Amino acid sequence: MADLILHHYGTSPFSEKVRIAFGIKRLAWRSVTIPVIMPKPELMPLTGGYRKTPVLQIGADIYCDSQVILRELDRRRPEPSLGTGTLAEGFAFWADHPLFSAAVATAFGTMGEHLPDAFFADRAAFSGRAMDRTKLKLQSAVMQGPLRAHLHWAEQSLSDGRRFLLGDAPGLADLALYHPVWFVRDRAKSTALADFTALNAWANRMAAFGHGEKSEMTGAEALTVAREAEPAAEARGVAANALGLQAGQRVSVTPDDTGRDPTVGDLVALDAQTIVIRREAPESGAVHVHFPRAGFILVPAQ
C-alpha cells in the first residue's frame, strides 16, 4: 500500500475519528501537522482551497472529508471492515452535523476562554457567524440539553452490555459517535457526560485502539510526494446527473455548511457518493481531489 499521509492537528475532532480508524485497522501512516487556523500554505496546493481538517493524501490523490477518507481506508484494507457503504453512513452524517454542533458548543464553554483571539476570528470566517467570547458559557449550558438528548440514545443502547454500537466489533457508527464525545470529554475536559456510565466505558474501549503506527513527515515532503506521483486511474466515469455535467468540464465543489471555500477543477468521476476533480498547482503538480456528494455542492464553475 502506498503511504497514507494524514494532514491534521492533534486537537481536531474529525482527525481523531480518522486516527482511531487507523488504530482499528492497525495501519502505518505518515503525519503532517498543519496549522490550526489559516493560512495553511502547504495544504492549499493539494486541496485547491478546501480548508477543513483532516485531509488524507495517497500519492497524488487527495481525500477531503472523513466520509471519503474512511471509505478509502475500507477499500484499501477491507479487514477489519468499518462498514462504509451501509446505513451506518447515515448515522455518521447525523453525528457529524447536529450532534457535533452540540458537542462543539458544549466544549467551548469549558475551553473557549483559553483560546486566542486569532482562533475566534478564524472560526468566525469558517462558520460565517460572529463568535462572542462572552456568551460561550451560556451557549454551552443551552446546548448541553440537546447534546445529552442525542447521546442518551447511545447510553441506552450500550446499557444492554454490547461492546460497540452495532455489536461486538467497532465500525463507522462508533467512529462517528466517538469524536464528538472525545471532543467534550477528553479535549475540553468537560463533565457534561460524566454520569453516562455505559457511554464512558465504550469511549474508553474506543480510545484503547490507539492511532496505529505513526511517523512524522513535513508538509514540504508531502508536496514532493504529490509532485512526483500520478493520480490513480479512475474507472468510475461520470454518471448521468441532473446538471448534465460531463467528464472534463470545469466544476466547483463547496461544503454546504462551514468552511465554504470552493475547490475548482476538471470533473474526472462522479457517482452516487463521490466527486473527483483534477487540478494542478506548481507546488503539487496534477492531483485528483476526492469529495463526498453528501454535504457538498457541485456546480459548473463560473
**What was the pLDDT predicted at 1?**
64
Q: Which of 213, 201, 121 is nearest to 157 (CA)?
A: 201
Q: Give the side-chain half-sphere CA count within 13 A for 243.
A: 15
Q: Residue 206 class from Cβ within 10 Å (0-12 exposed, 13-18 middle, 19+ buried)?
A: buried
Cell of 92: 455518521
CB 190 within 8 A of CB 184: yes
User: Per this entry, what is the length of the chain?
Assistant: 302
Per-residue pLDDT tens, the chain, 302 aa: give them. Answer: 689 999 999 999 999 999 999 999 999 999 999 999 999 999 999 999 999 999 999 999 999 999 999 999 999 999 999 999 999 999 999 999 999 999 999 999 888 788 898 998 999 888 888 888 888 999 999 999 999 999 999 999 999 999 999 999 999 999 999 999 999 999 999 999 999 999 999 999 999 999 999 999 999 999 999 999 999 999 999 999 999 999 999 999 999 999 999 999 999 999 999 999 999 999 999 999 999 999 999 999 98
CB 54 within 8 A of CB 18: yes
Q: What are phi and psi of 251, to 5 degrees?
A: -135, 170
Q: What residue type is assigned to position 110 of the chain?
A: T
